[in-house]
Amino acid sequence: MLKITTKERPGSLTFVLEGRLCRPWTAAAEQGWSNLMSTAGDRELLLDLEGVTFVDREGEALLASIIEQGPKVRASGVLVSHMVEQVQKRVLRKSRRDSRGTPRSHCDPGMP
Just give the CATH number of 2-92.
3.30.750.24
pLDDT for the residue 5: 97
pLDDT for the residue 62: 96
pTM flag (> 0.85): no
- CA atoms of 19 and 41, how far apart (whole Å): 28
Q: Is the dihedral of CA 22, 24, 25, 29 positive or negative?
A: positive
Asked if 51 and 80 count as a contact pair (C-beta separation under 8 A), the reply is no
112 pLDDT higher than 70: no
Sheet holding 2-9, edge to edge: 2-9, 12-21, 44-55, 72-74
Residue 95's pLDDT band, with cuts at 50, 70 and 90, is confident
Q: What is the mean pLDDT of residues 78-94?
A: 90
pLDDT for the residue 100: 75
Return the closest-CA partner of residue 74 out of 1, 28, 12: 12
pLDDT for the residue 102: 53
Delimit the domains of the chain by residue range: 2-92
Query: 54-77, pLDDT tens digit by residue?
Result: 999 999 999 999 999 999 999 998
Query: 2-60, pLDDT tens digit by residue?
Result: 999 999 999 999 999 999 999 999 999 999 999 999 999 999 999 999 999 999 999 99
